[in-house]
C-alpha cells in the first residue's frame, strides 16, 4: 500500500510531465433510438419504461406551475431524522410532514434543495429547479420518505401513509429494467439519465428499499405487498450495483460516479466530471455493502474485497490539498505524515488520478486546471479512510 501511495504522490508531483490527456464525452441520454442496441428480448421492458416516464412527465406538467418557486436551501436540515421517536408526533413534525405532502409531485417524487418549512401554494412549482421534479440528487425523495415513515410510526394519519406509498411507488417506477436508477425521473435527458452513484443516490435508494422490505422499526406499517415489491427492487438494484463495479486486469476495483443507463459502463456527467473510477462514491458503496451484509455472500465479499484493495492502492501519502497562503489557489503540497488523500477521479485504463475542466479537457495534473475549477471542486477526499477502518475491524 505504501509503495503504491508514494508512487501516486510522485506522479501527481511531476508537473513537468503533465498534459491534457483527453476530452470528456457527455453521457448519452436514454432515448427510443437506443432501444435498437438492446437485445430483442429486453426491448419491451425498456420501451414500457420510456412509456411510463413520458406518462409521468405529462402528469407533472398537468399541474399549473406559474407561481413563485419554493425557497432554495438546505432541505435535509428541515427534515431531521435523528430526533427522539416521540418528537415525530408533535405539531412541529406534523407541519413538516404536511409540507412534504404538499410538495410531492403528481408523479410521486420530490425536488431537491427546498427546505420543508412552508406548505406549497396552488400553482407553485414542485421544485426550485425545473429539471429536478422528482430526483434522488442531494438526498431528495429518500429523506422525505424517511421523515414520513417516522411520523407515520408516531401515529400519523392516512394522508402521510398515502404520500409514503406514492413515493415508494415512484421509486419503483423510476428503476431501470437493469436495476439502476437515474438521477431524475421522469427522465429529462443528458447525464441525468445515467445510473447515479454520485451523492450516494443509488445507495440511498437501496438502503431505503432494504429497510422497507424488512418491515421493521419505522417501516413496520408497510403492507406485505409493498414490502415484497421493495425487496424485489432491492435485489435488482444490488445486482446492478455489483455489475457496475469496474474490473481491471480481471480484478474488481471501484465504481464510477455515473454509469450508462443501459450498459452500466462508466460515463461522464458535467463537463469537468469524466468517466472514471470515483473514490468517494466507491467508499460510499463499500460502506453500504459492509453494513448491509455482516456475513456477505461470495459475490458481495468479492466486490468488497476488490474495492477495498483498490482504495488502499490508490491512497496518496504525505500530501495536503490547500492554499499555500490566503487568496492563493489551492495546491497539492508536500506534508510528511499527513493523513492519506484520494483523488476524486482515477483513469479507467491507467488507474492514475485525473482532473476535468469546464472546457471538457481531462488533465493528469490538478495544477493545470483553470483557477475557477481548481478552487471550485472537491478534487481530493479523505472519505475512503473511514470505510477502510471499518473493513479492518
CA proximity to 379, closest of 335, 344, 336, 349: 344
Q: Are 221 and 160 in contact (CB under 8 A)?
A: no
CA proximity to 239, closest of 268, 259, 225, 220: 259
**Annotation says 138 is catalytic:** yes
CA proximity to 6, closest of 318, 220, 343: 318
Q: What are phi and psi of 275, to 5 degrees?
A: -65, 120
Residue with cell 471501484: 254
Q: How far is CA 10 from CA 15, 63, 279, 359, in A?
A: 10, 57, 19, 27
What is the distance between the alpha carbons of residues 51 and 272, in angstroms, rounded to a whole number? 32
Cell of residue 249, nine digits: 486486469
Q: Which of 43, 57, 270, 358 is catalytic?
A: 270
Q: Which of 60, 138, 178, 198 is catalytic?
A: 138
What is the distance between the alpha carbons of residues 178 and 50, in angstroms, rounded to a whole number? 14
**Annotation says 270 is catalytic:** yes
Active site residues: 138, 270
Amino acid at each position: 500500500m505504501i509503495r503504491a501511495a508514494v508512487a501516486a504522490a510522485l506522479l501527481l508531483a511531476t508537473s513537468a510531465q503533465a498534459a491534457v490527456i483527453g476530452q470528456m464525452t457527455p453521457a448519452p441520454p436514454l432515448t427510443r433510438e437506443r432501444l435498437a442496441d438492446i437485445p430483442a428480448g429486453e426491448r419491451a421492458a425498456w420501451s414500457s419504461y420510456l412509456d411510463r416516464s413520458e406518462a409521468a412527465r405529462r402528469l407533472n406538467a398537468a399541474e399549473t406551475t406559474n407561481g413563485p418557486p419554493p425557497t432554495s436551501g438546505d432541505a435535509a436540515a428541515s427534515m431531521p431524522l435523528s430526533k427522539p421517536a416521540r418528537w415525530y408526533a408533535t405539531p412541529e413534525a406534523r407541519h413538516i410532514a404536511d409540507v412534504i405532502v404538499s410538495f410531492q409531485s403528481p408523479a410521486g417524487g420530490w425536488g431537491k434543495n427546498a427546505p420543508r418549512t412552508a406548505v406549497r401554494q396552488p400553482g407553485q412549482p414542485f421544485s426550485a429547479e425545473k429539471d429536478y421534479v422528482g430526483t434522488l440528487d442531494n438526498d431528495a425523495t429518500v429523506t422525505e420518505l424517511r421523515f414520513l415513515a417516522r411520523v407515520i410510526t408516531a401515529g400519523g394519519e392516512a394522508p402521510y401513509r398515502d404520500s409514503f406509498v406514492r413515493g415508494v411507488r415512484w421509486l419503483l417506477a423510476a428503476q431501470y429494467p437493469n436495476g439502476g436508477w437515474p438521477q431524475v425521473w421522469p427522465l429529462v435527458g443528458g447525464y441525468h439519465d445515467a445510473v447515479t452513484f454520485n451523492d450516494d443516490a443509488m445507495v440511498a435508494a437501496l438502503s431505503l428499499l432494504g429497510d422497507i422490505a424488512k418491515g421493521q422499526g419505522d417501516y413496520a406499517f408497510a403492507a406485505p405487498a409493498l414490502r415484497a415489491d421493495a425487496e424485489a427492487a432491492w435485489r435488482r438494484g444490488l445486482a446492478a450495483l455489483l455489475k457496475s463495479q469496474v474490473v481491471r486486469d480481471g480484478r474488481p476495483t471501484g465504481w464510477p460516479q455515473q454509469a450508462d443507463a443501459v450498459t452500466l459502463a462508466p460515463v461522464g456527467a458535467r463537463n469537468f466530471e469524466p468517466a472514471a473510477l470515483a473514490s468517494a462514491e466507491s467508499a460510499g458503496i463499500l460502506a453500504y455493502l459492509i453494513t448491509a451484509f455482516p456475513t456477505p455472500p461470495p459475490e458481495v465479499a468479492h466486490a468488497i474485497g476488490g474495492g477495498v484493495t483498490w482504495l488502499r492502492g490508490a491512497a496518496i501519502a504525505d500530501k495536503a490539498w490547500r492554499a499555500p497562503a490566503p487568496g492563493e489557489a489551492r495546491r497539492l503540497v508536500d506534508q510528511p505524515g499527513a493523513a492519506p488523500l484520494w483523488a476524486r477521479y482515477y483513469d479507467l485504463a491507467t488507474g492514475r488520478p485525473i482532473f476535468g475542466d469546464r472546457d471538457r479537457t481531462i488533465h493528469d495534473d490538478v495544477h493545470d486546471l483553470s483557477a475557477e475549477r481548481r478552487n471550485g471542486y472537491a478534487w481530493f477526499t479523505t472519505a475512503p479512510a473511514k470505510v477502510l477502518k471499518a473493513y479492518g475491524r
